[in-house]
Amino acid sequence: MKAKTTPNSLTSRLPFDSQTLRLLVIAIVLFVGFSVMLRDQFFSVRNMQSMAVQLPEYGILALGMMIPMLTGGIDLSIVGSANLSAIVAALVLTRLAPAEGGGMSLALAIPLAILVALVVGSLCGLFNGFLVSKVGIVPILATLGTGSIYIGLSFVITGGPAITITQLAFIGNGTILGLPIPIIVFIALVIVYAIMLNRMAFGFNVYMLGTNAKAALFSGINATSVLVRTYWLAGVAAGIAGIIFLARTNSAKPDYGSSFILLAVLIAILGGISPTGGFGTVSGMVLAILSIQFLSTGLNMLMLNLFPSSAAIFFRQFAWGALLLLVMVLNYYEEQRRNRRISTSE
Amino acid sequence: MNRILRRNETLVALLIILLSLGIGLINPTFFTVANVFDLLRSIIVTGIFAMGVLIVIVSGGIDLSFTAIAVFALYCTVRLMKAHAPDAPIWSAFVVAAVIGLGLGLINGFFIARFKFPTLIVTLGTLSLFEGFLLFAIGNQIIRDVPPALTGFARSSLVSLPSARGTTVLHPAILITAAVVLLVFFLLNYTTLGRGIYALGGAPEAAERAGFNVAHIQYFIYGFVGVLSGIAGMTFGSLARQANPQDIVGTELSVIAAVVLGGAQLTGGRGTVMGTILGVILVAIANNNLILIGMPTVWQRVVIGIIILIGTGLPAIQARRANKRLSGATSA
């Protein structure tokens, strides 16, 4: 109803603004470049599949980070929520259907464990939403605090060590029509996010709130409800990421993937999400996620070929930072050129 | 406004007193000299970091890269010393680390002052850049046999007292922290530059119109934070008697949390040295002493998270109430 008639942000009318176009070019150049340099080491079905398994882990977290950032906030607790969800789900699974057998049937226990992960993620997200919208704590601090609590609770539950769990390996290793299951989950989430942000009133409200909170308030948008839903969605994404963690690593660890927080923010910025909120598209996010994956895998292979030492794996970290700064400098100069053109045409 | 600020510091001081009394009642060893010395030792490095973070937050920015700068400076300095001057005195190590820190800090300053990029994002990028470069190009192995100057410094003591566990030692590195605290206090309160930093954090445009050169101030801030980070990194390494390239990075958020707990506001323009020290002490007490009251260490992060939420939530609720009262008064 309202959603259809809502005139949407620029982004839906111009799916390829110049920034998205540049990201597309970067992703293609990286892909083609590595394919030429590394030939079938990079350009092979096997490598495509292994990239498709690695990418959803942080890709889903980056998507989760996206909506809070669109509102001008951030969710630093996202990895904590993911790990807590994974640990509670792993616990449920090992209690209900122990690997030695004798419990509930797996066909019932697995959906239940997945549901539990989503519920835990939701609760984490709702608590963040409550702190940000009702209590009024700045998002970066609220989620810094809750992130510490969620990771802390994970440590309390496991007592420190990881919980080993193999019942979900079929999700991590499985494929449908040659596509690894994690990437299918990721693609589904991308579609849901694209619909939510571009075709639904909620998406419009998120952009509005991020562009101008005061104007949003005066135009009758219920900021509290939008913010609660924003952080709730981030929590759900974290829950899904938690299941992928479990399925990929066959274990639940309280401090798994702590570098993913900064990586998720980095991807969002690379993907054109404005850190002050209001601007950014799902297509930009997807291209940024792809670019980061191509860059990580390609550089890894290249460096291992060139310098067969243990140091090679660290090069990608350097490259991530360099890419982020490079893209920002490019954006800066393009904006300057555009401004100059506008001022001379007047 | 000043009143709210004072309230925030009193709140933290109150939290510290309550926590100390609580812990001390359950376990009297909390109030022993040994424990106080342990507490002081644990704030040596965090205290230096916190002063840098305070300056950045007061200026309206945020720095995530200071831990990477610290470990970069530490590791490079130790490598340089081992290769070229194994018998160099300890002060020269600190000078070299500070210079390396300055260089890296100025890279931050360049992107922030020249391009006006958001500080969070620049420093997120340089965090990844510095750490990646260190691990990839310089080294990723822990250096355990550090130059003798470092081991000598690690063994030195400022005060040593006999105690139940043998002797209790207060390390002289606390003097470095004290000097940094005094320096930053003087800088922020008694220099034009310091007032410029507050002005920049309060309203950049107004600061510019008032005649402050914003770009210069930013170069100074990030360069200075680089120097402090280099010193903090070197202190950390000499206390630990090793240079581990994968240390320190990852603790940045807890330092920022301590500073914000102390009343510095991420929106800029507000924050005091006193409050910051209180924040650092509060986090250190929570970190070190839960075990004294029989709370398993696994609860540490939960407690710190709760402290962050209380420390930031109460002022937020107060501000909300004040706002409501204000708008109620004007509409009536």
**B23-65: per-residue pLDDT in tens?**
888 888 888 888 888 888 889 999 999 999 999 999 999 898 9
Asked whether residue A172 carries a pLDDT value surpassing 70, the answer given is: yes
Most confident of A158-167, A173-182, A289-298, A335-344: A289-298
Q: Would you state the structure tokens that stand for residue A346, as one six-digit string?
A: 């007047």
Most confident of A238-252, A302-316, B99-113: B99-113
Rounded mean pLDDT, B269-290: 88
Contacts of B131 in chain A (CB under 8 A): 314, 317-318
Report DSSP state, residue A310. Answer: G
What integer pLDDT is reported at residue A293 of this predicted model?
92
pLDDT band at B331 (very low <50, low <70, confident <90, very high): very low
B332/B208: higher pLDDT: B208
The alpha helices in chain A, defined as continuous H runs, are 2-5, 10-13, 18-38, 45-70, 78-96, 106-129, 139-158, 169-173, 181-199, 201-211, 213-218, 223-249, 260-270, 282-306, 315-345
Q: What is the pLDDT of residue A255?
A: 81
Please report whether residue B126 resides in a domain: yes
pLDDT tens digit sequence for A184-196: 999 999 999 999 9
Domain count, chain B: 1
Instruction: Look at residue B75 in the predicted model and tell me its pLDDT.
Output: 95
Q: Which of B127, B256, B308 sits opposite A262 (nearest CB)?
A: B127
User: Which amino acid would we find at residue A132?
Assistant: V
Residue B277, pLDDT > 90, answer yes
pTM of the predicted structure, to 2 decimals: 0.81
Structure tokens at A188: 């589904």
pLDDT at A5: 39
B254: nearest CA partner in chain A: A144
List CB contacts (< 8 A) between B246 and chain A.
none
- From the list B131, B250, B253, the residue facing A317 with the nearest CB is B131
pLDDT of residue B252: 82
**Residue of B120, B300, B301 lying closest to A275 (CB–CB):** B120
Chain A residue numbers touching B258 (CB-CB < 8 A): none
**Residue B91 pLDDT > 70:** yes
Single-letter code of the amino acid located at A106: L
Structure tokens at A7: 């005139």
Sort residue A177 into left (φ over 0), alpha (ψ -120 to 50) or beta: left
When pLDDT is cut at 50, 70 and 90, the band that residue B165 belongs to is low
Distance from CA of A122 to the nearest CA of B (A): 19
Tell me whether residue B270 is in a domain: yes
**Tell me, what's the pLDDT at B148?**
87
pLDDT band at A328 (very low <50, low <70, confident <90, very high): confident
How high is the pLDDT of residue A11? 43
3-state secondary structure at position A253: coil
Give yes or no for residue A61 having a pLDDT over 90: yes
Report yes or no on B312 lying in a domain: no
| pLDDT at position A2 | 40
Lowest mean pLDDT among A336-345, B88-97, B258-267: A336-345
User: What pLDDT does A116 receive?
Assistant: 95
Domain that holds residue B277: 29-288
Q: Could you read off the pLDDT of A131-160 as tens digits, one per residue?
A: 999 898 888 889 988 998 999 999 999 887
A299, A313, A317: which to substitute to probe chain B, counting the most B Cβ within 10 Å? Answer: A317
Query: Residue A125 has what pLDDT?
Result: 96
Asked whether residue B174 is domain-assigned, the answer is: yes
Q: Is the pLDDT of residue B253 over 80?
A: no
Q: Most A CBs within 10 Å: which of B62, B75, B130, B298, as the mutation test of the A interface?
A: B298
CA distance A221 to A203: 12
pLDDT, position B92: 92
Contact A66, A268 (CB under 8 A): yes
A227-231, A283-287, B7-11, B71-75: segment of lowest average pLDDT:
B7-11
For residue B310, being part of any structural domain is answered with no
B28 Cβ contact partners less than 8 Å away, ≥ 6 residues apart: none
Q: What is the pLDDT of residue B166?
A: 67
Task: Give how far the C-alpha of residue B141 lies from the chain's centroid of Cα atoms, to the nearest Å.
Answer: 26
Local confidence band at A324 (pLDDT 50, 70, 90 cut-offs):
confident
Most distant CA atoms of chain A, gap in Å: 79
CATH number where B143 lies: 1.10.3470
Instruction: State whether B128 and A262 contact (CB < 8 Å).
Output: yes
Q: What does the block give as tokens for A344?
A: 């001379």
**pLDDT for the residue numbered B26:** 85
Chain-wide mean pLDDT for chain B?
Answer: 86
The closest alpha carbon to A288, from A310, A273, A303, belongs to A273
Question: Does residue A8 carry a pLDDT above 50?
Answer: no
Contacts of A264 in chain B (CB under 8 A): none
- Of A159, A266, A317, Cβ closest to residue B124: A266
Please check the confidence at residue A17 and state whether its pLDDT lies above 80: no
pLDDT of residue A13: 47
- Among B136, B259, B267, pick the best mutation site for testing chain A contact (most A Cβ within 10 A): B136
Contacts of B250 in chain A (CB under 8 A): 258
pLDDT value at position B332?
A: 39
* ipTM passes above 0.90: no
Q: Which residue has the higher pLDDT, A13 or A66?
A: A66
Q: Do A76 and B253 touch (CB under 8 A)?
A: yes
Q: What pLDDT is recorded for position B247?
A: 84
